[in-house]
Amino acid sequence: MTIDPARFTVSADVRDIVQGRRLRRPRQADWSRRLVRENSLSVDDLIWPMFVVDGEGRRDPVPSMPGVDRLSIDNIVREVERAARLGIPAVALFPYTDDRLRDETGSEALNGNNLVCRSCRAIKQAVPEIGLITDVALDPYTSHGHDGLMSGEDIVNDASVAQLCGQALVQAEAGADVIAPSDMMDGRVGAIRASLDNAGFEQVQIMAYAAKFASAFYGPFRDAIGTSAALKGDKRTYQMDPGNSNEALREVELDLAEGADSVMVKPGMPYLDIIRRVKDHFSVPTFAYQVSGEYAMLMAAVQNGWLDGDRVMMESLMAFKRAGADGVLTYFAPRIAERLQGGQS
């Protein structure tokens, strides 16, 4: 329906008020909207998290993450080649560990020939130019599903840190460019930095999961790496309380003091305020993790036809940029990169 503006009398008062305050003016055309846009999204902002599983020719869908598969090494190499073609700067690896290899201490984490290490070698051989990020935490390897070592009901800090240093070393030896500790033990960044340096890996970066909250949004990830059933209790004695914000700044401050090259806030969208505070306070490379539950939530609505997939994906990523993030770990990475390559934002 079109209306005839002439039929509506606009008083001089209204015109006076609007005069000189027409913020809608630059919104009238695409060229102008693009010129005044404050933030932009580029392929350089993307880190693609990937799930690796043992075997060959495997591409097992993760039911709660439509469009995401667990890949065997041969297929993961193919996908990393695709990431490189798309211009994605880095990928992050997470292993699905066979139940037989899980134990109380997560000893498989220290096996220099474990699935993650074998994946690193294969990827580095095929696609040496891509950034390779590995996860340091024991949860994919422990029978109890916790990120550290357990003594009774407790997750013991310092002994866990020692184990995590060993894990970081085998990953660096296998070719990881960035060690990303996601365990939230106190002091692990400094200890890992020292271990890496002592072993001659002073160029290997540390991306610290500095402010990682005890969140219900990790559910689908735990399905993907097969720890949902194993996990005893919850992670509230080491991950942050969702009610806290100042504490996130202390966590980031300590990780930076201990030698982190970049820091991460996780989950993403429910914690945009934390990203903004971290960026404003420290002005360091700050990453966000759009976690599995955020992805699952959007995809579920998209599959029902309730949301436009491409548009919510782009808008959700733009929100991270606006909040101050330098980059985002997102399961949408290849889809976004394809869209950006097509020249659409």
Which C-beta is closer to Mg ion: that of 102 or that of 277?
Answer: 277
Q: Least CB distance from residue 62 to ligand FVT, whole Å?
A: 11
Find out whether 315 is annotated in a ligand binding site.
Answer: no
Residue of 182, 205, 227, 262 that binds ligand FVT (CB under 6 A)? 182
Q: Are 103 and 138 in contact, with CB atoms under 8 Å apart?
A: no
To which H or E segment does residue 179 belong? Answer: strand 178-181
Catalytic residue status for 321:
no
From the CB of residue 57, how many other CB atoms can be counted at a distance below 10 Å? 8
From the CB of residue 284, how many other CB atoms can be counted at a distance below 10 Å? 16
Q: Are 94 and 70 in contact, with CB atoms under 8 Å apart?
A: no
Closest CA to 136 of 49, 59, 207: 207
Q: Are 52 and 71 in contact, with CB atoms under 8 Å apart?
A: yes
Q: How far is CA 138 from CA 90, 183, 222, 284, in A?
A: 22, 7, 13, 27
Tell me: does residue 221 bind ligand FVT (CB under 6 A): yes
CA gap 262, 288 in Å, rounded: 11
Tell me: does residue 134 bind ligand FVT (CB under 6 A): no
Which C-beta is closer to ligand FVT: that of 262 or that of 292?
Answer: 292
Tell me: does residue 251 bind Mg ion (CB under 5 A): yes
135 binding partner (options Mg ion, ligand FVT, none; Cβ < 5 to 8 Å by kind):
ligand FVT
Q: Least CB distance from residue 5 to ligand FVT, whole Å?
A: 51
Tell me: does residue 271 bind ligand FVT (CB under 6 A): no
Residue of 135, 177, 251, 255 that binds ligand FVT (CB under 6 A)? 135
Tell me: does residue 93 bind ligand FVT (CB under 6 A): no
**Span interacting with Mg ion, options 143-151, 219-227, 244-252, 289-297, rule CB under 5 A:** 244-252
- The single residue of 235, 266, 279, 321 carrying the catalytic annotation is 266
List the beta strands (DSSP E) in 96-166: 131-136, 149-151, 154-156
Length of the chain: 345
Tell me: does residue 97 bind ligand FVT (CB under 6 A): no
Report the residue number whose CB is nearest to Mg ion: 251
Which tokens is 283 given? 């002005």
**Where on the phi/psi map is residue 218: left (φ > 0), alpha (ψ -120 to 50), or beta?**
alpha
Q: Tokens 């095929």 correspond to what residue?
A: 126
Tell me: does residue 332 bind ligand FVT (CB under 6 A): no
182 binding partner (options Mg ion, ligand FVT, none; Cβ < 5 to 8 Å by kind):
ligand FVT
Q: Are 260 and 203 in contact, with CB atoms under 8 Å apart?
A: no
Tell me: does residue 96 bind ligand FVT (CB under 6 A): no
Q: Least CB distance from residue 150 to ligand FVT, whole Å?
A: 18
Catalytic residue status for 266:
yes
- The single residue of 212, 235, 279, 321 carrying the catalytic annotation is 212
Tell me: does residue 79 bind ligand FVT (CB under 6 A): no
Catalytic residues: 212, 266
The contact set with Mg ion (CB under 5 A) reads 251
Binding positions for Mg(2+): 251
Known binding residues: 251
